[in-house]
Structure 1
């Protein structure tokens, strides 16, 4: 049993290190986003943000949102030792939405673009169905347990 306790302590330290590194990455992403917003609104086109700039800005916002949600997931696991599956699925949906926003149809052929959109559509339907079922069942999964919220 002492061995398992040692492993759990190491696991907690790994999660703490991941949280610290993710905070550093999020701070860098926010600084980058601030720079992008400043450039888009002040230096490049003071009155109007063009389509390409808007796509880049929205991608930056969603990237920070994904990072914050990931940090929240790690924080919850760190405190409760349980994974909230609905948060992970929601994070995946946000990541797919970011991909859809950042798609540039001018860089690929029409066939590749259509195939990519159909593939993303299948992923979105699967994730949405999974999220619906998880929310309906109210399931949280942790190590060695599966509990249903009442």
Structure 2
């Protein structure tokens, strides 16, 4: 029974990886088309500010997808959750939110909350990398 459950779990992960790869591929195609259209548009080869922010947002969204793909792949191959990759995905997602944040009609409170969240995630990422480095130094001695 456990072997059947293990096989089922592996197939679910394979399907998730395949679907995520398809979504990332379409996102890359959409980003390429967005950039090409922005460049060859009739406005003297210049992207507007909101278009540049859209390109940055799409780029970061693709980067998030690739990092999630790496997380799933690492779990399938090694059966370990790589916390630093998950924190990196969260940092990229918050950075994307901050880059695309429109603060024209709201107070600064959401932006302060995002800044605190980003600071906490970066601090956690730093602690995990520092602990990993110390572990590697101890094992080398």
Tell me the TM-score normalized by structure 2: 0.89
Aligned length: 136
CA spacing shift, 1:95–1:87, aligned 2, 3 Å: same
Q: Distance in 2 between matches of 1:102 and 1:123?
A: 16
2:49 paired with 1:55: no
Tell me the TM-score normalized by structure 1: 0.84
Structure 1: 5+ residue runs without aligned partners? 140-147
Structure 2: 5+ residue runs without aligned partners? none
Q: Distance in 2 between matches of 1:73 and 1:44?
A: 42
Consecutive aligned runs of 4 or more in structure 1 exceeding 6 Å deviation: none
What is the root-mean-square deviation of aligned Cα atoms in Å? 1.6
Aligned partner of 2:110 in structure 1 is 116
Q: Deviations over 1:58-110 (max 9, x none)?
A: 0011111111111111111111111111000001000101001111123x33x
* Preserved CA contact (<8 Å) 1:59 1:101: yes
Aligned counterparts, 1:22-37, within 5 A: 22-37=20-35
Aligned partner of 2:72 in structure 1 is 74
Aligned partner of 1:145 in structure 2 is none
Partner-residue secondary structure (3-state), 2:41: helix
Of Structure 1 and Structure 2, the greater strand share is in 1
Aligned partner of 1:125 in structure 2 is 119
Partner-residue secondary structure (3-state), 2:45: coil
Q: How far is 1:38 from its partner? A: 1.1
